[in-house]
Structure 1
Amino acid sequence: LILATRAIATPLACGNTVILKGAELSPATQGLIIDALAAAGFPAGVVNYLTCAPADAPALVELLIAHPAVRRINFTGSTPVGRIIARTCGEHLKPAVLELGGKAPLLVLYDADLEQAAAGAIFGAFANAGQICMSTERIIVDATVAEAFVAQLARRAAALPASLLGPVVDMKTVTRCNALIEDALAKGARLLAGGLSDSTQMRATLLDGVTREMRIWHEESFGPVKSIIRVKDEAEALAVANESEYGLSSAIYSRDSARAWNLAQNLQTGICHINGPTVHDEAQMPFGGCKSSGYGRFGGRAGIAEFTELR
């Protein structure tokens, strides 16, 4: 509901008509938005809603992008699908806003408030079972405080009931997350909380000692399976954080806000939070990423510029 509302709110406010193509896994839920707008008095044809079977989605999306009445495209979803949409938009010279996958790093510096950092990491990692593009995927911690921080993090994760996380979207997600866990453990990672699952009600899972040889170092889990990476200093923390094809959200925890701010200037992400979780968004702020996390911005003046023509 949140993402679908965001997708159409700014274009409508800018005076456009819109077509919302519903997600194949939740068309009825997103249809509630259309019902609410109709009940509020929106004229027929201002907000249009299309749904289709998953197998028909590629053809429908290509048809929509190619149509001369469609002037802007905005997509929130996976990076592989985003690449296809970007290519199609390029063929038809249509501007697009793409909000794609993420591998958000959370940096815990040696002078961080460890309790605050642990709380932020747990929320950012496991809200909605980790199924948020901004979800904390990599917890990068300075070795001088790693033992104390990781112990606190493990306690918090182990205490989270699976019912609080909520289910993952389907068994494909479970299979993918299980494969990441098995690969990491086989290559030397340590399981601190959670573990393999045989249902969509997965537990909060933490893997310590994650290295570059492991799939989870590079791949987005999009589930409640998160990495802990220990580094020797701030320079290595920055290098590890930027060692990803993704660049959506990030966070830095430090008692020295100016130091954290300076470090943030060198993070290759569209968003950085100082002493706050990676999962946070405000309507007046520009929201979007770089690298394989997409391009364009929602929110604020930048969002208005995406859905208007400068003349």
Structure 2
Amino acid sequence: MPSESSYIVPLWINGQALPTDSSTSFPVIKSVSGDTVHNAQSASAEQAISAAESAKAAFKTWKNAAHTVRRELILRVAAHYEKNAGTLVKYQMEETSCDEAWARMNVDLATRYLKEIAACISSVTGVIPQIEKPNTMGFVFKEPIGPILCIAPWNGALILATRGVASAIAAGCTVVFKASELSPRTHYAITQAFVDAGVPPGVLNQIQVRREDAGKVTEALVANEAIRKIEFIGSAAVGRIIGQLAAKYLKPVLMELGGKCPAIVLDDANLDEAAKLCALGAVMNHGQICFSTERIIVHRPVAKKFQELLVKAVEGVDSHSGAAVTEGIAKHAEEVLKDSQEKGDKFLVGGVDYRKPLSLKPTIVLEPKSSRIVDEETFGPSASLYIVENDEAAIELANKSAYGLNATIWSTNMERAMRMARELEYGQVHINSISVYTSPTASQGGVKGSGFGRQNAKWGLEAFVVDKFVSYHGKG
């Protein structure tokens, strides 16, 4: 029997796994050990186009599938996740070096996403508008836009890929799922969950591509006339490339990019709870979450006390910090801290050092002025702490960022916190919560450099449909 390390994650096109070829596969490495956990087949541009054509052919019938058929499919996928949770946890831990708690949270939240998406399918409805012309009727139908290219990340490997793929399919679209080269088996498990649930051939196709070929293959897909929309979740740097490609070929894009989440701690906050959850929000999954707490802004009257509590809390969250998914990502986070060190920034806790291989020490930098950490997403277990005089200064500093994904406010005064939340330039603001929070029933997405469009529940379904206006002018 072949070993796990010799297994090759195949491509899945038109309802079948394509034969694998070791000469065109690439290794998937577990970063903390350096071991090859398995391999994955790399798609050529021709195979990617075949996946797009498969999705186009399947769309002709899937777009007309009854909402009950689509809902029952998504619910069966959710049941598959619940039954196979242990396997899904295992694949995530092997491929991304995350801890078990993060992997299990992915399974739980992805399952809840699926159930909410299924529940919302029948809410996507058109309208009958008033028409100014006598004896004329108008209808606005909501129709699936067509085959979708879903480009998923590795850091929330199960949650984020599941949400995009399931929302598109639930809306009546078909999908070409470009899996991350860092977590192809986790992503293949999603595809197989849909297959086991009875998804028709061609409705969901999966490819993955080795990094050196990614640009060529991605452009071949975006350029293909079959693809009608792109969903991309990833870094702002890659998002710009995808955005330029989409503009070149006039394709709409749904994007969720990076963040630089500010946590604002007001003078009436529960300081102990705020310190604990700011620390955890900064280091969870080694800071490799777009919702990670990256900036902490505290009112001066409570700054000294909060700083003491924060240092203590950061020192206590080592067990939650995990490890970087690759040496390159760890190196980037390290270089951001080195830049702060070289520019004379004060480190309250931690520093430019590793607690174990590819796992940096959780770190807080005090009031950096011009170093990279000011507004560069670190993707490491670190955050900066700032002290301000009042609410207005906190809002101004929080909004002084290229990003606009999420923010948190800590206060016991709901009216005050709500008023501030409305002034913050972020897609979601959480009051008295860890920054790494989302609800399957609420919208999620960014503003400014954090992307555009919304996912989750009915918002995610609406992202994959278009309005069609039909007018009836009598019998003629």
Bigger radius of gyration among the two: 2
Same fold per TM (> 0.5)? yes
1:188 aligns with 2:331: no
Q: Deviations over 1:163-221 (max 9, x none)?
A: 4321111122222222222222333322222222353122211112322x121002110
Aligned counterparts of 2:439 and 2:314: Cα–Cα separation in 1? 27
Q: Among 117, 122, 125, which residue is 2:274 paired with?
A: 117
Q: How does 1:140-219 map to 2 (within 5 A)?
A: 140-161=297-318, 163-198=319-354, 199-211=357-369, 213-219=370-376
Contact 1:188 1:209 in 2 (8 A): no
Q: Secondary structure at the match of 2:466?
A: coil
What is the TM-score when the length of structure 1 is the normalising length? 0.96
Match of residue 291 from structure 2: 134
| Shift, 1:37, TM fit | 1.4
What is the TM-score when the length of structure 2 is the normalising length? 0.63
Aligned counterparts of 1:71 and 1:119: Cα–Cα separation in 2? 44
Structure 2, unpaired ranges of 5+: 1-157, 469-476
| Shift, 1:123, TM fit | 2.4
Aligned counterparts of 2:268 and 2:333: Cα–Cα separation in 1? 32
Match of residue 46 from structure 1: 203
Work out the percentage of aligned pairs sharing the same amino acid. 39
Coordinate RMSD, CA, aligned: 1.3
Aligned counterparts of 1:140 and 1:55: Cα–Cα separation in 2? 40
Contact 2:280 2:317 in 1 (8 A): no
Contact 2:349 2:363 in 1 (8 A): yes
Aligned counterparts of 1:142 and 1:155: Cα–Cα separation in 2? 19
Count residues with an aligned counterpart. 309
Contact 2:280 2:320 in 1 (8 A): no
Q: Go from structure 1 to structure 2 and tell me whether the alpha carbon gap of 1:93 and 1:19 turns closer, same or farther (over 3 Å shift).
A: same
Structure 1, unpaired ranges of 5+: none
| Shift, 1:66, TM fit | 1.4
Q: Secondary structure at the match of 1:167?
A: coil
Q: Secondary structure at the match of 2:378?
A: coil
Contact 1:174 1:197 in 2 (8 A): no
Q: Among 66, 76, 83, which residue is 2:240 paired with?
A: 83
Q: Deviations over 1:27-54 (max 9, x none)?
A: 1221111112112221221110001110
Aligned counterparts of 1:22 and 1:155: Cα–Cα separation in 2? 39
Match of residue 168 from structure 2: 11
Q: Among 405, 422, 434, which residue is 1:248 paired with?
A: 405
Residue 432 of structure 2 aligns with an amino acid whose one-letter code is N
Q: How does 1:289-308 map to 2 (within 5 A)?
A: 289-308=446-465
Greater CA drift, 113-122 or 9-18: 113-122
Greater CA drift, 275-284 or 147-156: 275-284
